[in-house]
Amino acid sequence: MAYRGDDAGDALEAPTAEGLLKVVLGPNRVDLAVAQRSLVVADKVATLVEHKKKKQERRGSVKIVGNLVVARGFPREDIGVWIELAEEESKKNRAPVVSRIELRPPTSMRRVFGVEPVSLLERDGLGALGRLEVVAQRLRAHLADLAGTVRRAVEIGSGHALDKVLLADHGDHYVFYARRLFRDRARFAMAVHADGRIVVPDGKKLREVHVTSRFGVTVRGDYVRFADKHGTDLAKVSLPWLGPEDRDEVARRIGQFVDRD
């Protein structure tokens, strides 16, 4: 697959909290490197290398069988590269029927590479963030053909990289992915449609509810809660790894997306 852009061969740089991020956009290839880590995306394979001083380097590869997205972070404007992982069970089992729609089984996503911006309190912190934004835009455009139907991706959370929640914006619906306990990947957490349909896991099945007001999307403890106009609970989704402000941001984005009041 040919990656997009007339920028093949361009070398880009931007300061990050870990040091200088170097990105090379080549024909059918992208190279990213920062500190002791590097990521190469080429021929539908993503290869991550950790360069250890006085130790043998650690190398791992992931075959790109689904979407690869470049996400921007909230609240700190991080950059994260996420890859959809293959799941054998998804190929064996038909998706459950939910209301009037049929959904494929939930997929999972893994954050394989990421960087944090320089603190805005540092000298020229704002300028460094601007340079990182330029790199993010060029990187996202160059890899757009690998993103499938995802128009935009946002990772929410200021904690550990594994604890971030991924929001994949498909235009007419959002899909959220969140990590479960003792897992290294983020699994399907919920789908939110512009017409107010909310699809959530219910055991091994999926359940659909309908919310069309931002006031029906609230946060209670670790949960994003969905309620009808009378305040009756319809469904809830646990996001335990996020801080209170980050859960509020998830609820705000969902409420804004479905609101018809």
pLDDT score, position 58: 86
pLDDT score, position 3: 57
Place of tokens 């060029």: 138
Q: Evaluate whether residue 228 is within a structural domain.
A: no
Q: In this structure, are residues 228 and 216 in contact, taking their beta carbons and an 8 Å threshold?
A: yes
pLDDT score, position 87: 64
Q: Evaluate whether residue 188 is within a structural domain.
A: yes
Considering only residues 200 and 204, tell me which one the structure prediction assigns the higher pLDDT.
200
pLDDT score, position 106: 52
CA distance 131 to 14: 5
pLDDT score, position 89: 38
Query: Would the pLDDT of 7 be above 80?
Result: no
Q: Evaluate whether residue 253 is within a structural domain.
A: no
pLDDT score, position 160: 85
Going by C-beta distance under 8 Å and a sequence separation of 6 or more, which residues neighbour residue 39?
30, 31, 32, 33, 46, 47, 48, 49, 81, 112, 113
Q: Evaluate whether residue 185 is within a structural domain.
A: yes
Place of tokens 């409420």: 255
CA distance 174 to 33: 30
The CA radius of gyration of the chain, in Å to the nearest whole number, is 19
- pLDDT grade for 203, boundaries at 50, 70 and 90: confident
pLDDT score, position 92: 43
Which amino acid makes up residue 169? Answer: D
Considering only residues 182 and 107, tell me which one the structure prediction assigns the higher pLDDT.
107
CA distance 44 to 228: 44
User: Going by DSSP bridges, is the β-strand pair 45-50/101-102 parallel, antiparallel, or unpaired?
Assistant: unpaired
- pLDDT grade for 159, boundaries at 50, 70 and 90: confident
Mean pLDDT, rounded, for 129-139: 96
Please name which of 60, 79, 63 lies closest in space to residue 71, comparing C-alpha atoms.
Answer: 79
Q: Evaluate whether residue 235 is within a structural domain.
A: no
Q: Evaluate whether residue 152 is within a structural domain.
A: yes
Q: pLDDT tens across 224-243, in order?
A: 999 999 999 999 999 999 99
Q: pLDDT > 70: what percent of the chain?
A: 88
Residue 150's domain comprises 10-203
Query: Would the pLDDT of 117 be above 50?
Result: yes
Query: Would the pLDDT of 244 be above 90?
Result: yes
Q: How far is CA 13 from CA 16, 20, 21, 134, in A?
A: 10, 7, 5, 9
Please count the structural domains in the chain.
1
Q: pLDDT tens across 57-112, in order?
A: 888 999 998 999 999 999 999 999 999 987 643 444 444 434 444 455 458 999 99
Q: Evaluate whether residue 224 is within a structural domain.
A: no
Half-sphere exposure of 45 (CA within 13 A, CB side): 7
pLDDT score, position 8: 54
Q: Evaluate whether residue 231 is within a structural domain.
A: no
Average pLDDT, the chain: 88
Largest CA distance in the chain: 63
Mean pLDDT, rounded, for 165-170: 96
Please name which of 16, 54, 11 lies closest in space to residue 130, comparing C-alpha atoms.
Answer: 16
CA distance 63 to 85: 8
Query: Would the pLDDT of 182 be above 90?
Result: no
- pLDDT grade for 39, boundaries at 50, 70 and 90: very high
pLDDT score, position 181: 75
